[in-house]
Amino acid sequence: MKLDQYEKELVSIAEEIVYYLMRSGVSKDDSLDVTQDVLVKMLESNFVLPREKIRSWMYRVAIRNYIDSYRREKKYQEILQQEFFREGLTSYDQELGSQLYDLLSELPNHFQTVLDLHYFQGFSVKEISHILGNSQSKVKIDLMRGRNKLKKIIKERGLSYEDLI
């Protein structure tokens, strides 16, 4: 497909916007998504603007779109936090592992949440970091420290792995 001069200018401006957003701290994927949306919007529009106005319009729309998507994502994370993780641990229905789950409830809340999400709910480290809004390394550290504290509690009670399953 051949692009006419107007479309070539739009594409070159879109490439500038991608680099601008990336320099501003936006991830490469997000900057590409935002810029693609702006470019498609511009190509589908029925009006033609001079180059000097197109450039500023595309930058303005790209920045606003990114801010809107950032706010939506932040709001989504807040809703997840408020609605799904405010009550702490959910009760464990199965008899197997219920004693382990009771011991888990003796840990500080942040360890309980991370261990529950990973072992009982089956979330990956990446998913947990996204849900809690923490880095993946923080989640890994909390998992390790939570496991160590849980091992210490189990040892203090004189229990073994076989006693808990």
Mean pLDDT of the chain: 78
Nearest CA-CA partner of 128 in 142, 141, 146, 114: 114
Nearest CA-CA partner of 6 in 41, 37, 50: 50
pLDDT one-digit tens code per residue, 54-98? 888 888 888 888 888 877 777 776 666 666 655 444 444 444 456
User: Hey, where are the domains in the chain?
Assistant: 5-84, 98-164
**pLDDT of the residue at 64:** 87
Could you tell me which CATH class the domain 98-164 is placed in? mainly alpha
Q: Tokens 């939506």 appear where? A: 72
What pTM did the predictor assign? 0.46
Nearest CA-CA partner of 128 in 70, 96, 94, 84: 84
Q: Look up residue 145 and give its amino acid.
A: R
